[in-house]
Amino acid sequence: MQEVTRERVKALASQCLGKRQSPKTVQNTIRCLSSLLSNAIEDGLIQSNPAAKPGKFLPKISKRRAINPLTREEVAILIAAARSQAHAQYVLLLCAVRSGLRQGELVALEWGDLNFAGRFIEVSRSHTHGKTTTPKSGESRRVDMSLELTQAFKDLRTERQLQAVANDWKAVAQWVFCNRHGRMLHHNAVRKAFHALSKSAGLRRVRFHDLRHTFASLLLQQGESPVYVKEQMGHSSIQVTVDEYGHLIPGGNRQVVDRLDGVPIESVSPSQSATQTQPTDEWIASLQGEGIEITEDDDDDENGVSDGFRTRDLRIHNPAL
């Protein structure tokens, strides 16, 4: 450990970047090394941590991740193309763009996770790297189902029951989305089918994960609360939602500052104005009724004003007197 210097840590980071590893991956590597060296300091093995504060020599990592969501029109084209080709694939893609579930959450979805009465999906598991685990956040969440998605799931359940009878299955497959043998779908098969469908529909190529981004961006663009989007997406904090999708709200900030503007000055009538340049006849009559003299004078006075009116009684300026 005595041979680990700041220069060697920088060289390691440079080598990893040269292998085309992302700055985030390299940062995690150096932080892991820094944690080990911090423990060594506590044990008295070394005096300083040469891997501390890697941000000083690593490229700056932008908080905004690269996302490429589909537009509302592109979603309509995709769903229409899927409906005309294969019903099972149609429901899977519809669920992706209407619920924002991750690919691992989609393939691990079971029929017991669907609540048709409450119209929500209980997302409690995800299948990634060959293992079924909890969702990425480590917690389950409830995702609302639209009317269209609810009906699509009901139709698919009927189709699965008929499929089980036709293939002499002992029971309906537990997975909502399964292959022709009733087994869980493979991630590669899902992605290949999606890209093939997108190409046949004439859509630009995006990642399957961008369907999740599409769900969040469309919600925000139609004015939904970021808090609601955060809960539906299962983000660990509202900051993640804002960092990833806040910039997708077109003109949001301009609309906010526009609301600060009051009624245009030219639209305010003299009777509505809080300060009037000329006293009204009613106002003058009320003052004269109280014995206050008001005279017209075209010339400025030492104690007067230059608007043609002046007063010889200071009580006009101070109602408390």
CATH number at residue 95: 1.10.443.10
Q: What is the pLDDT of residues 146-194, one digit of tens each?
A: 999 999 999 999 999 998 888 888 888 899 999 888 899 999 999 999 9
CA atoms within 13 A on the CB side of 77: 13
Question: For the chain, how many structural domains are there in total?
Answer: 3
State the pLDDT at residue 280: 61
* 87/24 same-domain check: no
Which pTM was predicted?
0.64
Quote the tokens at residue 277. Answer: 């340049």
Q: Residue 194 sits in which domain range?
A: 72-250
Domain membership of residue 272 (yes or no) is no
* 246/114 same-domain check: yes
* 186/80 same-domain check: yes
Domain membership of residue 112 (yes or no) is yes
**Is the pLDDT score of 227 beyond 70?**
yes
Cβ–Cβ contacts within 10 Å for residue 219, how many? 18
* 92/194 same-domain check: yes
* 162/284 same-domain check: no
Q: Largest alpha-carbon pair distance within the chain? A: 107
Distance between CA atoms of 41 and 51, rounded to whole angstroms? 12
Q: Which helix (H) or strand (E) holds 311?
A: strand 309-311
Domain membership of residue 200 (yes or no) is yes
Distance between CA atoms of 94 and 78, rounded to whole angstroms? 9
Lowest mean pLDDT among 63-72, 116-125, 133-142, 233-242: 63-72
Q: Which helix (H) or strand (E) holds 141?
A: strand 141-144
Closest CA to 175 of 229, 125, 239: 125
State the pLDDT at residue 296: 54
Distance between CA atoms of 37 and 57, rounded to whole angstroms? 18
State the pLDDT at residue 300: 46
Question: Binning pLDDT at 50, 70 and 90, where does residue 309 land?
Answer: very low
State the pLDDT at residue 286: 62
Distance between CA atoms of 66 and 154, rounded to whole angstroms? 35
Domain membership of residue 1 (yes or no) is no
Closest CA to 88 of 176, 207, 202, 209: 176
Q: What is the pLDDT of residues 110-150, one digit of tens each?
A: 999 999 999 999 999 999 888 999 998 788 999 999 999 99
State the pLDDT at residue 246: 73
* 84/233 same-domain check: yes
Q: Which helix (H) or strand (E) holds 238?
A: helix 238-245
State the pLDDT at residue 298: 46
* 116/232 same-domain check: yes
β 114-115/120-123 pair status = antiparallel
* 181/297 same-domain check: no
* 143/86 same-domain check: yes
In the DSSP assignment, the letter for residue 152 is: H
